[in-house]
Amino acid sequence: MLMLHGIQIDLISEDRLDNMTSMEKVRLILENVKEGTIVVLEKGLDPEEQSTLIEYTMMEISPDGFSGIEMETYPAKDGHEGLFTKLFGKKKGKDRRLTVIGPANQMRMLKTESDFISAFVTSR
């Protein structure tokens, strides 16, 4: 019987992410990445979520099992602060851009530029 070896890629829309709590996002990412899935978020995590992701990633690492994540995102766009930012100190999430997350033992970032990410992924 022919066995197919492939890599699953989950692309998660901004709309779906907006309806999730921070912990739901972190759990979704880790549960999928631990299974070998590459997760692409249309809108990246905020700094608090990134901090939580690092912390929870560390808790999930095990010898000869999950060794952590590889993650890349486009840099935040430079721009003038609008009235909204000046008044409320929020950037309305515009600095959170497309983010690619995968298992550290399967994914290598080849090139990251302000508008281009290239990654190399191997199957397990």
Taking the complex as a whole, the smallest distance from the CB of residue 4 to other proteins amounts, in Å, to 27
Q: Write the Ramachandran bin of 123: left for phi over 0, alpha for psi from -120 to 50, otherwise beta.
A: beta
Could you say whether residue 47 binds other proteins (CB under 8 A)?
Answer: yes
Gap between the Cα atoms of 30 and 57, Å rounded: 7
Could you say whether residue 46 binds other proteins (CB under 8 A)?
Answer: yes
Could you say whether residue 58 binds other proteins (CB under 8 A)?
Answer: yes
Gap between the Cα atoms of 55 and 65, Å rounded: 17
List contacts with other proteins (CB under 8 A).
Answer: 46-48, 50-52, 54-59, 61, 63, 67-73, 75-76, 104-105, 109, 112
